[in-house]
Amino acid sequence: MISFKVNAKTVSFEGDANTPLLWVLRDHLGLTGSKFACGIGQCGACTVHVDGNAQRSCILPVGAIEDRSITTIEGLAAADGGLHPVQKAWLEIDVPQCGYCQAGQIMATADLLNKHPSPSDRDIDENVTNICRCGTYVRIRNAIHRAAELAEAGE
Amino acid sequence: MNMSVNYSEISVERIDEGRRRFIVCGTTIAGSMVLGLPSIGLTEVGGDMDGERQIGFFIEINADGSVIIGTNQPEIGQGARTALPMLVAEELDVEWSKVSVRQMPLGIVKTEEGYAWKYGGQGAGGSDGLSSNWDFMREVGATARQQLIRAAAARLNVPASSCRTKPGYVLCDAPAGEIPYGDLVAEAARLDMPAESPPLKDMKDYRIVGKAQNTVDALEIVTGQSRYGIDTVEPDMRYAVIARSPYLNGSVRSFDDTEARKVDGVLDVFEIDGPALGEPYLILASGVAVVATSTWAAIKGRKALRVEWEAGPSATDNSEDFWKQNEEMLKSQGQIVVDDGEYEKAMSDADKVVSRQYQVPFVSHQPLEPQNCYAHVQENFCHVIAPTQSPSGASRAAAAVTGLARESIHIDMTRVGGGFGRRLTNDYVAEACMISQATGWPVKLQWTREDDVKNDFYRPAGLHEMHAGLDTDGKVIAWTQRLASASKYYRRPNMPDENLWQAELYSDDFPRRMVDNMRLEYFHNPIGLPRGSWRAPAHTANAFVIQSFLDEVAHESGQDPLALRLELLGEERELEYGNHGGPTFNPGRLARLITFVADRIDYGTERPDGRGVGIATHFTFGGYAAHAFEVEVSSQGELSIERIIAAIDCGFAVNPNAVEAQLQGGTIDGISTALGLEITVKDGQVQQSNFNDYPLLKIAALPSAFEAHIVPYNNIPTGVGEIGIPSSAPALTNAIFAATGIRIRRLPIGDQLKQAMAA
């Protein structure tokens, strides 16, 4: 049995330790906000935070996260429901089209802002490598800069 | 593709809506746009109506003033779920902030005259979801508003003409004359429908429509709460995947499931029959289904399968041969499908003839949400939950598999993780129904990315040969496009060979009727690869070819590419346009847009070596777009897009926020596809498998200098989902030529610049 935390709650999984974390989240824990899209770590739709760092959960075996702490899109907002600055910026700029990749984009951006609080365009290009098939990249870039402003202002 | 609305008279039908039960009284108004709705009054038969109040199918008003508006179209990211309820809310006269939106299922009803559609036509294809619902949805709102006014007038015993509305209230000239809508719904719902639909608002009074509104369910999306098809969980649901033939038109020779059945969680393994050779596709491929207790168990079980495949009749298909065959075909005489004026005479009279060939590859849709579908086939009923662009197609697919009557099949639609035309075909719905029927279980079928890349209805590939004849003044007097391609209309039901060209050459496209002597000629080159509608279907290929060739004609004849286009397009006038998006096409609107983008990018300004500007414009499904790109190419052939100006004329922008988004997204789709995307076939198998070898664009390739402009024209909205893509790629390749002198005549661009620079 593998125990770990998801969104501050301790959970356990009894199946195959090679099961990608993504499928444990989706099929076993009912957390469907993290999306399956490529299964090979290329697109980032499945991005979650493992001990605060963005990782692609579709290629992360659940056996590798024993005792680690996972945050998914469902747990990104504050416990009182207050949205994360990245989520606020995404709403303000109205980024989503189909919306399928956006949970991953938001999780990748939250990680970027932890490491680069006011990212340059180049920081964005190098660190937010998630795929958006609808091509919302213009708004993603604007929303990342806006999220940095909101975070800076403590909002 | 035309998803035209199909209304029929509805007599009496019983429907279940959760705990409520209504009789639908069909009092349709012949000839009126409100047929099918909202003229259908809903009368309560039993159950509890407290707290929920409904007028017609689309509008529910609660006592607290909150309003739920139904949306009949699938939401694939194009913004229909926001834009269509905006139309209802505007005419109903409610605050937009009080509105939430409900996705309607497929509204199929059996009548004596055949099937009818109680929510109007439903489907996302051809960019006409908005234009075809523009009157319809506004009349839904206006009719409901009028019924509320009549209910208030009756209650207060005053003439309806003395009553008006303010958002959420009827105001009558009487004591206590201000009544919230929520108080009036039950009375309004019982009133007879008016004989005529009420007048619509003057557009200058709009408070919601025409103003930028955010995506209605954006909060659910950014918090991970939005439910896509893949997120479906139903009681007792099993999970399934299919190992499909890697060979086009291949089949299962034999399989050994010993190891697969040993995988923990695997419940069943069985063969799925593929489509009959040459027949229309119900599903894409023959294969072996694995059903399990979780998605991962099903995927593991599939990996453990051993399948011997029969390679079948397409085993010798190769992309290389396909392109050689196209070249050979173009040496002969094809099917002449347009022949205006005296083409041959004009060509022989021409002072100068320019000829070029362009190659446009097969590409795949790759919506980010892989195909999936929930199905539960029971003895007399089938429930499908699908991310689909065509719920009526899903209903047909389920009926074909199960043999059930279509009224016994319920199709629920989820938010869809991208469409791009892939989900106009419902093969994955048919597969899910096959698996549920075979096992008796409720099943969610899941495709992996590899399944999606290797099994698709690909955009057709073709080799285009262009000739232009010019007189001594440089005027284009003769024009021909000769196309050898794999038609999209391959394996369509009732499709005669002589009509295959119609999916590949839109006969009334530019420069038809702008050049007197014009020919279009077609050659069909079949290959085993399935084909389908890929965002703006043939427009993406033809805009690339025509807008590239125009640049080449201009350069060859010493003319400016913008001036040549303006000369050909001419003044504003409505020309006959018989293809989808007609009935007319106004080339002056393209001239206006291309002038706009050229001005914005300082078209006439000289650029240093290695930098250049390119422009292009195209009319797509009723809407107009133009692009200008500025690029820089290094001496090693590294391409950098420096600046993008995109402009759209969609008549009237119902939701400017969504129009801008679609223009941005379409432009980027065009770039992504032109830069690196191609599906190739070797020995009857698709060679690509996932995003590692089918590399969709990432953010780093795009400049921050990206402008998307809406250029208003009139009060008639066109669709926007497909308008922004076709002129994007040729503006890019024209810019590359301006920067380097390297002409891209074969897509994708790939490493052609690096190779040319190295040479």
Q: What is the DSSP string of B184-228?
A: HHHHHHHSPPPSSPPPPPPGGG-SSTTS----TTHHHHHTT---B
Q: How far is CA B53 from the centre of its chain?
A: 34
CB B758 within 8 A of CB B638: no
Query: What ipTM, to 2 d.p.?
Result: 0.99
Whether residue A80 lies inside any domain: the answer is no
Helices (H) and strands (E) in chain A, counts: 5, 5
Which residues of chain A neighbour B78 with C-beta distances below 8 Å? 97
Compute the mean pLDDT over every residue in chain B, rounded to the nearest whole number.
Answer: 92
Please state, in angstroms and rounded to a whole number, the distance separating the CA atoms of residues B724 and B503.
20
Q: Could you tell me where the DSSP H helices lie in B489-556?
A: 537-556
Which residues of chain A neighbour B450 with C-beta distances below 8 Å? 39
The pair of structure tokens assigned to A135 is 């091509």
Please state, in angstroms and rounded to a whole number, the distance separating the CA atoms of residues B626 and B595.
9
Mean pLDDT of B225-249: 98
Nearest to B224 by CA among A154, A8, A71: A71
Task: Let me know whether A15 and A36 are in one domain.
Answer: yes
Nearest to A58 by CA among A11, A110, A123, A107: A107
Please state, in angstroms and rounded to a whole number, the distance separating the CA atoms of residues B330 and B255.
44
pLDDT for B118: 87
Residues 69-98 of A with CB under 8 A from B: 72-74, 76-77, 83, 87, 90-91, 94-98
**Beta carbons of A32 and B295 less than 8 Å apart:** no
Please state, in angstroms and rounded to a whole number, the distance separating the CA atoms of residues A130 and A135.
11
pLDDT for A155: 78
| pLDDT per position as a tens digit, B412-452 | 999 999 999 999 999 999 999 999 999 999 999 999 999 99
Whether residue B510 lies inside any domain: the answer is yes
Task: Let me know whether A50 and A89 are in one domain.
Answer: no
Backbone angles phi, psi at B717, to 5 degrees: -75, 140
Residue of chain A whose alpha carbon sits nearest to that of B224 = A33
Q: Does the structure show a pLDDT above 60 at B7?
A: no
Task: Let me know whether B448 and B461 are in one domain.
Answer: no
Task: Let me know whether A99 and A141 are in one domain.
Answer: yes
Q: Which residues contact B599 (CB under 8 A, 6 or more apart)?
A: none
Ramachandran category for residue B173: left, alpha or beta (phi over 0 → left; psi -120 to 50 → alpha): beta
pLDDT for B56: 82
pLDDT for B420: 98
Domain boundary among A45, A75, A105: A75
Q: What angle do CA B63, B68, B74 make, to 5 degrees?
A: 170
Q: Does the structure show a pLDDT above 80 at B33?
A: no
Please state, in angstroms and rounded to a whole number, the distance separating the CA atoms of residues B569 and B567.
6
Out of A16, A100, A130, closest to residue B228 by CB: A100
What share of chain B in percent tops pLDDT 70? 93
Q: How far is CA B672 from the centre of its chain?
A: 17
Please state, in angstroms and rounded to a whole number, the distance separating the CA atoms of residues B632 and B623.
30
Residue of chain A whose alpha carbon sits nearest to that of B700 = A125
- Strands B476-485 and B517-524, sheet pairing: parallel
**Alpha-carbon dihedral sign for residues B547, B553, B555, B561:** negative
Q: pLDDT class for B186, splitting at 50, 70, 90?
A: confident
Task: Let me know whether B267 and B404 are in one domain.
Answer: yes
The pair of structure tokens assigned to A101 is 């990749």
Range of the domain at A92: 85-152
Task: Let me know whether B23 and B116 are in one domain.
Answer: yes
DSSP class of residue B501 equals: G
Q: Which residues contact B97 (CB under 8 A, 6 or more apart)?
A: none
Residue of chain B whose alpha carbon sits nearest to that of A131 = B698
pLDDT for B14: 32
* Burial track A117-127 (b if 16+ CB lie within 10 A, e otherwise): eebeeebbbeb
Whether residue B222 lies inside any domain: the answer is no
- A28 interfaces chain B, CB cutoff of 8 Å: yes
Task: Let me know whether B478 and B553 are in one domain.
Answer: yes
CA distance A102 to chain B (A): 7
Whether residue B215 lies inside any domain: the answer is no
Which residues of chain A neighbour B699 with C-beta distances below 8 Å? 124-125, 128-129, 132, 137, 140-141
Q: Does the structure show a pLDDT above 70 at A38?
A: yes
Task: Let me know whether B427 and B295 are in one domain.
Answer: yes
Task: Let me know whether B414 and B274 are in one domain.
Answer: yes
**Beta carbons of A37 and B369 less than 8 Å apart:** yes
The pair of structure tokens assigned to B625 is 């777009």
Q: Across-strand partners of B409?
A: B382
Task: Let me know whether B309 and B338 are in one domain.
Answer: no
Mean pLDDT of B445-474: 98
The pair of structure tokens assigned to B112 is 């004596």
Mean pLDDT of B320-346: 98
Task: Let me know whether A59 and A97 are in one domain.
Answer: no
Mean pLDDT of B606-623: 97
Instruction: State the number of CA atoms in the 13 A half-sphere of B16 facing the CB.
Output: 5
| pLDDT per position as a tens digit, B656-705 | 999 999 999 999 999 999 999 999 999 999 999 999 999 999 999 999 99
Q: For position A148, which CATH number holds?
A: 1.10.150.120
Range of the domain at B563: 319-363+457-758
Q: pLDDT class for B43, splitting at 50, 70, 90?
A: very low
The pair of structure tokens assigned to B178 is 């201000």
Other beta carbons within 10 angstroms of residue B709's beta carbon come to: 16
Task: Let me know whether B325 and B201 are in one domain.
Answer: no
Backbone angles phi, psi at B514, to 5 degrees: -110, -15
Nearest to B727 by CA among B579, B598, B580, B559: B598
The pair of structure tokens assigned to B732 is 């890019």
Whether residue B532 lies inside any domain: the answer is yes
Task: Let me know whether A48 and A91 are in one domain.
Answer: no
Nearest to B206 by CA among B164, B148, B149, B167: B167
Q: pLDDT class for B61, splitting at 50, 70, 90?
A: very high
